[in-house]
């Protein structure tokens, strides 16, 4: 997960989409303009994450029945 420096990006996102629509920018141009504050990487092994996710899915299913 990449966290940008600009956290309140609602107006910026609207401007970027408008710029893409009129041909001012391409999506990759916008990605190049973003300043990154921090990158989060998984610390948990994949198998453990999958097991926890399966448990979460089971719990959600049980609440729906």
User: pLDDT tens for residues 3-61?
Assistant: 989 888 888 899 999 999 999 999 999 988 889 999 999 999 999 999 999 999 999 99
What does the pLDDT read at residue 19?
A: 96
SS (H, E, C) 7-49: CCCHHHHHHHHHHHHCCCCCHHHHHHHCCEEEECCCCCCHHHH
What confidence score (pLDDT) does residue 26 get? Answer: 96
pLDDT of residue 38: 95
pLDDT for 61 equals: 96
Domains: count for the chain: 1
Domain range spanning residue 23? 2-63
């Amino acid at each position: 997960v990449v966290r940008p420096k600009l956290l309140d990006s609602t107006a910026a996102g609207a401007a970027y989409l408008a710029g893409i629509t009129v041909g001012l920018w391409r999506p990759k141009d916008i990605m190049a303009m973003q300043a990154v504050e921090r990158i989060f990487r998984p610390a948990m092994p994949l198998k453990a994450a999958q097991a926890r996710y399966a448990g979460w899915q089971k719990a959600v299913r049980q609440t729906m029945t």
